[in-house]
Amino acid sequence: MKAPKTHAIYNPEYECMSRDAMTALQTERLRQVVRHEYDHVPIYRARMDAKGVRPEDIRTLDDLRHLPFTEKTDLRDQFPFGLFAVPKKDIVRIQGSSGTTGKPIVAGYTQHDVDVWAEMAARALTAAGCTAEDIVQVSYGYGLFTGGLGLHQGASLIGAMTVPMSSGNTQRQIMMLKELGATMLCCTPSYAIYIGETAREMGLDPHTDLKLKAGCFGAEPWTEEMRMRLEQLLDFDACDIYGLTEIAGPGVSFECLEKNGMHVNEDHVIPEIIDPVTEEPLPYGSSGELVFTTITKQGMPMLRYRTHDICRLDASPCACGRTTVRMGRITGRTDDMLIIRGVNVFPSQIESVLVSVKGAAPHYLLVVDREHSTDSLEVQVEIDESGFSDTVADLEHIRNEIKDKIKSVVGISAKITLVNPHTIPRSEGKAKRVIDKRKLV
């Protein structure tokens, strides 16, 4: 049941600021955060010194380009507390996601950071039509992943009835949607499609049996075709929402019901688009790599964090009245990170598992597919010459060890196919490690 389009705004003072006022606010906040990072985080001080940049050199937003970048590998190398800019006792929350090897990356939040993030999520939910009258079923995973807790905090701040379902157990999800009369659903878009398809298979008619009016869907790339399918399956409005652990979870940017790009919470983060090769900033409208600087975070502020997500920024006016710049859909990545069932997966993590398993060779191919709206991962791995002569029982043991380790290091189940030595094609250049057969529709 689609609700009438609303243009309610959670915090118009900031979301509808004039460009001049926003620039002044961002500049002031940027100067403070740069000074704070320089004084409290040794790697930022070292990098700024190496570039010959002092905090007082940052006077305008154009000066951002003089600051050093931050990479996911920095979070891994400084794991767990090296990037904290406040004493550990001031950190009240840890969230995390996968890093480029088995080691996770973590982000620390002060109470202020948690409150800011909750407001960002509340802004996103409000933009999708949520009010205190609503019942919000949160079907993102709860835990270190920011999806569940992020939307939960946002919905609670609005005063909506919040249902912390977490992900999984789809029939039960549907029973709760129906029995509680949830009006909003939040989960990954692929899971939402699966919920919609399962509800149909269970004989439910979303128009009469469910009360859903809208939802916030993100954490993985999706397309306009997927939106159309999802909206048709569940008979509601599906809005895109973006975020990342390193900056803040869901709510860094979000779509309003105009569905024409995601409004960036610019009073808290400054977005840039850069050319991933030259690392030079690109003007609005160009497609390139998205980079964020946080300007209100205390626990672990980030200067010029390279997301490796590719998109465009659009500063044209939006009919909703918000004046914040909008991000287009994420159209790809500049690195090899895959998102499989909402989990960030780097081929190097799988490789780190394979080298630790006796009898497995580090020659592998990841085959990613999507069956019935659910992602699947097959890891084809060569057994090494020594493993090859082994018995069937030994091969089974190798397969199980790889499967268990991948589950514990990467966090997802994979099908393991052992193949004969020298059968995975070798490449003279960059090895081709991934075949992604998923069509996003």
Contact residues toward ligand DLL (CB under 6 A) are 97, 140, 145-147, 150, 218-221, 240-245, 249-250, 307, 309, 330, 339, 344
Shortest separation between residue 240's beta carbon and ligand DLL, angstroms: 5
Q: Which is nearer to ligand DLL, 26 or 97 (CB)?
A: 97
Dihedral Cα 150, 152, 155, 158, nearest 10 deg? -80
CB of 152 to ligand DLL, least distance (A): 11
Residue 223 beta carbon to ligand DLL: minimum distance, rounded to whole angstroms = 10
Beta strand extents in 275-331 (DSSP E only): 288-294, 305-311, 313-314, 326-327
Least distance from ligand DLL to the Cβ atom of residue 184, Å: 14
Tokens at residue 192, please?
Answer: 């939402």
Q: What contacts 193, CB < 8 A, 6 or more positions away?
A: 226, 229, 230, 233, 373
Among 236, 261, 424, CA closest to 347:
424
Q: Which of 194, 246, 238, 248 is nearest to 218 (CA)?
A: 238
Residue 282: partners with Cβ closer than 8 Å, 6 or more residues away: 273, 274, 275, 288
Per-residue burial over 165-174, b if 16 or more Cβ lie within 10 Å, else e, is bbbeebeebb
**Cβ closest to ligand DLL, residue 17 vs residue 195:** 195
Give the nearest distance from C-beta 346 to ligand DLL in angstroms.
12
Q: Closest distance between ligand DLL and the C-beta of residue 188, in Å?
A: 7
Nearer residue to ligand DLL within complex by CB, 386 or 408:
408
Nearer CB in complex with ligand DLL: 220/272: 220
Fill in the DSSP letter of residue 281.
B
Question: Which CB atom, from 9 or from 138, has the smaller least distance to ligand DLL?
Answer: 138
Query: Which residue number is nearest to ligand DLL in terms of Cβ?
Result: 218
Note if the bond before 80 is cis, omega within 30 degrees.
yes
As a whole number of angstroms, the distance between CA 40 and CA 36 comes to: 6
Tokens of 230: 């999802």
Minimum distance of ligand DLL from residue 167's CB (angstroms): 11
Minimum CB distance to ligand DLL, residue 302 (Å): 12
| Residue 134 vs 309, nearer CB to ligand DLL | 309
Q: What are phi and psi of 207, to 5 degrees?
A: -65, -40
CB half-sphere exposure, 213, CA atoms < 13 A:
19
Shorter beta-carbon distance to ligand DLL: residue 38 or 346: 346
Q: Which is nearer to ligand DLL, 37 or 220 (CB)?
A: 220
